[in-house]
Amino acid sequence: MVYNYYMKNFYFRALAVFLFSFFSLSLSAQITVVRVEGNKIFMDISSATTHVQEGDPFKVILSSETLTNPKTGKELGLVHSYSSEGKITKVESLFAVGELPKKETVSIGQEVILSATETATTAEKEPAAPAKSTHTSVRYNPVNQIIIGLTEGNFPQHPNTLVTLSEKGEITLWERGENHALIPLLSYDLPATKKGITVSAKDIKNSGSDQLFVPVYDQARQSISTLVFEVQGNTLAQIASMPNFVKELGCGSEKTLWAQRPFVTSSRPGNAKNVVYKKNKFINGDKSFATQHNWLLGLNIYPIQSETAENLIYTSSNGKLRMVLENDKRTESAGNFGSTPNRIQYKQEIVRFFPSLQVYGPHGNAQIAAVENTAKIGLLSNTFGQYQDGKIHFLTFEQGRLKTAEVLDLDGVLYDTSCTDESLLTAAVLADGTSSIVEISK
């Protein structure tokens, strides 16, 4: 009887450990090896819960064994043996290719994990209490809209006009009035079938008046395009469209308008090309840069590292800011900058559009303005209602790392930012569904 009791107890414990290990591996094994060619590894990323990008470091779990306390017999968990750290070299919609520094005994079916390198992606430890921002700001009186995109445009008789896009698809031109009032000038309602994503303004036609570029998502057609508007008399009229996702990068008179082909690989877009106007059409120009399959919302390109560098800085899926250095390595910030209520459902995926990253200042000594939205305690940040406030981090690049120098707290959720010659613009969406535009000195 005693023997049977202990044997049953032993088998039960062994079965429990096996099931725990099996299900733990099954749940966590989101990326697996499907082909090996020398030191080149092909991996299935169709079930990956993280966004895999070119340049990401990875390791393969070569073997695992259970660690047991020899005195008590207590199972302490699994100990893994890893391969050398490799690098993702190619990403497609359902698979990725990586290379290890040397050939190793990697087998089909083994698990791949993404890892952080000490030399390239070590996160900067933030100070316990970052300095409060010394930037002065002007807060305009709230308007009865949830503003998800904004910029500044110049139009006949209306220079330096605020332009906003609301969650309901309202495009509005606002004049700055007395006592921080916003006076509506013109407006346009997008069709109900098209969800607006952001708004940009620039005079691509060299007509003396800015055109507005509004990317929209057509749920029925599962497509993104950009509608182009201009001021005609006392109306805002659509004059063209582009089969691209279009977004402004830069500040004020230095803005450049970029277009990228949407959904090149699954929910990921293509590289960016500048927008030009030729033969009465808005088309892609000859200038380009690689976005590494990131949307133009949530990234910027600027000579941050030196006067001659063209550093790509972007919001990664794990919430960090990453910057591509001149040696093709990456540095990574601390903090969570991937929290955004601006998203669409594309097929079976949720596509998140991160708030714009603004970069300005002397080349090689730039300052970066990035949004962090704070989740309500105990809730995951997947919808607007689960955020409670937002803040803007002002980061610098120092000694090879991105570091938060100052933080400006705002009592509202932030969807996006834009950059003028003199200031940063954002809209704090308040708990009552109104928005207050905030103009922050640079």
**φ, ψ for residue 266, nearest 5 deg:** 55, -120
Report which of 161, 157, 158, 160 is spatially closest to residue 171, judged by C-alpha positions.
161
| Structural contact between residues 352 and 340, judged by C-beta atoms closer than 8 angstroms | yes
Rounded mean pLDDT, 250-257: 95
Q: Which amino acid, residue 173?
A: L
- In this predicted structure, what is the pLDDT of residue 129? 53
Of 30 and 57, the one with more pLDDT: 57
The angle formed by the CA atoms of residues 36, 42 and 45, to the nearest 5 degrees, is 145
Give tens-digit pLDDT for 284-328: 999 999 999 999 999 999 999 998 999 999 999 888 999 999 888
Confidence check: pLDDT of 18 > 50: no
Using CA of residue 192, residue 193, residue 194, residue 196, what is the dihedral sign? positive
| Structural contact between residues 303 and 366, judged by C-beta atoms closer than 8 angstroms | yes
Rounded mean pLDDT, 84-89: 90
When pLDDT is cut at 50, 70 and 90, the band that residue 25 belongs to is: very low
Confidence check: pLDDT of 17 > 60: no
- In this predicted structure, what is the pLDDT of residue 27? 39
Give the pTM.
0.74
Average pLDDT over the chain, rounded to an integer: 86
| Structural contact between residues 75 and 17, judged by C-beta atoms closer than 8 angstroms | yes
| Structural contact between residues 347 and 222, judged by C-beta atoms closer than 8 angstroms | yes
- In this predicted structure, what is the pLDDT of residue 130? 59
Rounded mean pLDDT, 20-25: 41
Question: Which two tokens mark 325?
Answer: 């250095």
When pLDDT is cut at 50, 70 and 90, the band that residue 384 belongs to is: very low
When pLDDT is cut at 50, 70 and 90, the band that residue 116 belongs to is: low
- In this predicted structure, what is the pLDDT of residue 388? 79
Confidence check: pLDDT of 60 > 60: yes
Q: Give the domains, in start order, of the chain with CATH numbers.
A: 2-114 (2.40.10.410), 131-441 (2.130.10)
**For the chain, what percentages of helix, strand and coil (3-state, to nearest 5) are there?**
10, 50, 40
Confidence check: pLDDT of 123 > 70: no
- In this predicted structure, what is the pLDDT of residue 49? 58
Rounded mean pLDDT, 215-242: 96
Question: Which two tokens mark 215?
Answer: 């990317």
Question: From CA 303, how far away is CA 400, in angstroms rounded?
Answer: 14
When pLDDT is cut at 50, 70 and 90, the band that residue 214 belongs to is: very high
**Share above pLDDT 90 across residues of the chain, in percent, rounded to a whole number:** 61
Burial of 12 per CB tally in 10 Å (0-12, 13-18, 19+): exposed
Rounded mean pLDDT, 380-394: 70
Looking at 108-117, 272-281, 323-332, which range is the least confident one?
108-117
Confidence check: pLDDT of 97 > 80: yes
- In this predicted structure, what is the pLDDT of residue 348? 85
When pLDDT is cut at 50, 70 and 90, the band that residue 218 belongs to is: very high
When pLDDT is cut at 50, 70 and 90, the band that residue 50 belongs to is: low
Looking at 28-42, 83-97, 230-244, 361-375, which range is the least confident one?
28-42
